[in-house]
């Protein structure tokens, strides 16, 4: 017999409280970042506005049931690809297209601002993958090497279109997010490790070979058509001080800011190190300088708790489609956090990926709110039954 809980009982108050904490941290960090004077704009009202819009997105997303998302998956995925393709074919001269830092990644909507479709496409892609994997398993009840290869081909085929348009913008950071989502769902989809391990081994080998050639065989890469600027992020990551007057400046200032915060930090708006774009991609350097190791650790722990909580929700779900949705979102947010924090402390190359729920940016925040809204929906519409065993629950 189904337990008919009240809506307030099914709403995930813990997840809502975590988002509230992120909102507070975001406003405090952005407010402190504005003291650098890089921009004569107050970003706080806009961030509050985007959080309000994000709350509406969560409410709207949570209203629909997982089965409705499953039925509309191809429409959602196709709509996202259409927006990416439209952005690709429209000429730069149109007012509808906005180009920043040499990347053609935004639509400019009068009265609204700039919208980056790739931020929403990440969630649309997860929905499409979840639908495709679910239908594949429903069709092929008995797993074989052949069926696993077929599933892998379908997953990679679904990846190619959005990845092509994103890399053409170009937006390497977002492209890496798509690869991380794909890798996670390949594992979760249950494809045999006899297929996964060789593919991952080949991928790691190719990546290692490219890194080695970028460092020690540049002439060979240049003959293949590569340009030096395409590897500058690797050079500045490994040796930023050799490029201190140019590309390495961002990383050096970030390291100085975080290091100068020491254990307890300099306090709110007590910053002394100037970090460009510190309200967006390098917001973690603000947290490290203002609040030190303690404050940075609190933020990292909050992300850990968010990922742990979503993982717990995923394990409670019995519907495969909902499980794949949540697994993809966990992979997306985890990669964002790991890459963003990693690039500010020289653990990883700089890729321009924002810190989820904290960095300033309407598209990024609304895209993440859309993803979290799906987690709310999966949890809200999940049904438990009386007298069910642990296996069937």
Tell me: the pLDDT tens digits for 129-173? 999 999 999 988 888 899 999 999 999 999 999 999 998 888 888
* Residue 38 confidence (pLDDT): 66
Task: List the chain domain ranges.
Answer: 7-380
Q: How big is the chain by its Cα radius of gyration, in Å?
A: 22
In 3D, which of 100, 120, 176 has the Cα closest to residue 349?
176
Is the pLDDT confidence value at 391 over 80?
no
Span 327-354, pLDDT tens digits: 999 999 999 999 999 999 999 888 888 9
Which H, E and C letters describe the chain, residue by residue? CECCCCHHHHCCHHHHHHHHHHHHHHHHHHHHHHHHCCCCCCCHHHHHHHHHHHHHHHHHHHHCCHHHHHHCHHHHHHHHHHHHHHHHHCCCCCCCEEEECCEEEEEEECCCEEECHHHHHHHHHHHHHHHHHHHHHHHCCCCCHHHHHHHHHHHHHHHHHHHHHHHCCCCHHHHHHHHHHHHHHHHHCCCCHHHHHHHHHHHHHHHHHHHHHHHHCHHHHHHCCCCHHHHHHHHHHHCHHHHCCCCCHHHHHHHHHHHHCCCCCCCCCCCCCCCCCCCCCCHHHHHHHHHHHHHHHHHHHHHHHHHHHHHHHHHHCCCHHHHHHHHHHHHHHHHHHHHHHHHHCCCCCCCCCCCCCCCCCHHHHHHHHHHHHHHHHHHHCCCCECCCCCCCC
In this predicted model, what pLDDT tens digit does every residue of 70-103 receive, in sequence order? 999 999 999 999 999 999 988 877 778 777 777 7
Strand pairing partners for 98? 106
Residue 51's closest CA among 347, 350, 393, 369? Answer: 369
Q: pLDDT tens, 185-223?
A: 999 998 888 989 998 898 889 888 888 887 787 777 777
What local confidence, expressed as pLDDT, does residue 73 receive?
94
The pLDDT assigned to 245 comes to: 66
User: Which pLDDT score is estimated for 331?
Assistant: 96
Q: Locate tokens 């049904």: which residue?
A: 383
Neighbours of 199 (CB within 10 A): 14
pLDDT of residue 230: 66
pLDDT band at 384 (very low <50, low <70, confident <90, very high): low
Q: Give pLDDT tens digits for 224-256.
A: 666 666 677 888 888 888 776 667 888 889 899
Q: Using alpha carbons only, give the angle 372, 376, 381 rounded to the nearest 5 degrees.
A: 150
pLDDT for res 235: 83
Q: What value does the mean pLDDT take over residues 263-271?
A: 84
Angle between helices 362-380 and 44-63 (to 10 degrees): 30
pLDDT in tens, 14-69: 999 999 999 999 999 999 888 766 667 788 999 999 999 999 999 999 989 999 99
User: Would you state the pLDDT for residue 383?
Assistant: 65
Contact between residue 329 and residue 178 where contact means Cβ atoms under 8 Å apart: no
> What pTM, to 2 d.p., does this model score?
0.91
| Average pLDDT of the segment spanning 374-378 | 93
> Residue holding tokens 């149109």?
94
> Residue 298 pLDDT more than 80?
yes
Contact criterion met (CB below 8 Å) for 58 and 369: yes
For residue 170, is the peptide bond before it cis, meaning its omega torsion is within 30 degrees of 0? yes
């Amino acid at each position: 017999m189904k337990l008919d809980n009240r809506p307030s009982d099914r709403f995930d108050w813990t997840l809502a409280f975590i988002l509230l904490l992120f909102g507070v941290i975001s406003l405090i960090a952005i407010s402190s970042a504005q003291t650098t004077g890089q921009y004569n704009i107050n970003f706080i009202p806009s961030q509050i506005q985007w959080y309000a819009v994000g709350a509406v997105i969560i409410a709207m997303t949570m209203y629909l049931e997982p089965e409705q998302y499953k039925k509309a998956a191809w429409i959602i995925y196709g709509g996202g690809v259409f927006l990416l393709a439209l952005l690709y074919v429209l000429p730069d001269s149109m007012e509808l297209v906005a180009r920043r830092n040499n990347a053609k990644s935004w639509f400019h909507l009068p009265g609204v601002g700039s919208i980056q479709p790739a931020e929403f496409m990440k969630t649309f892609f997860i929905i499409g993958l979840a639908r495709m994997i679910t239908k594949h398993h429903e069709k092929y009840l008995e797993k074989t090497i052949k069926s696993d290869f077929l599933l892998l081909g379908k997953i990679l085929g679904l990846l190619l279109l959005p990845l092509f348009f994103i890399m053409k913008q170009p937006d390497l950071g977002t492209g890496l997010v798509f690869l991380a989502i794909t890798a996670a769902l390949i594992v979760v989809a249950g494809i045999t490790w006899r297929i996964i391990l060789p593919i991952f081994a080949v991928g790691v080998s190719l990546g290692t070979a490219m890194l080695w050639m970028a460092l020690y065989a540049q002439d060979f890469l240049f003959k293949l058509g590569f340009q030096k600027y395409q590897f500058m992020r690797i050079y500045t990551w490994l040796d930023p001080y050799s490029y201190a007057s140019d590309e390495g400046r961002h990383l050096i200032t970030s390291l100085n800011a975080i290091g100068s915060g020491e254990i307890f930090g300099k306090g709110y708006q007590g910053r002394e190190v100037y970090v460009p774009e510190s309200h967006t991609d390098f917001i973690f350097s603000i947290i490290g300088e203002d609040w030190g190791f303690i404050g940075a650790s609190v933020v990292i722990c909050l992300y850990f708790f968010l990922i742990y909580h979503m993982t717990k929700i995923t394990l409670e779900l019995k519907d495969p489609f909902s499980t794949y949705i949540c697994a993809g979102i966990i992979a997306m947010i985890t990669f964002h956090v790991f890459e963003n924090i990693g690039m500010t402390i020289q653990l990883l190359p700089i890729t321009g990926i924002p810190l989820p729920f904290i960095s300033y940016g309407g598209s990024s925040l609304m895209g993440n709110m859309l993803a979290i809204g799906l987690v709310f929906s999966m949890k809200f519409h999940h049904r438990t039954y009386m007298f069910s065993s642990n296996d069937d629950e």
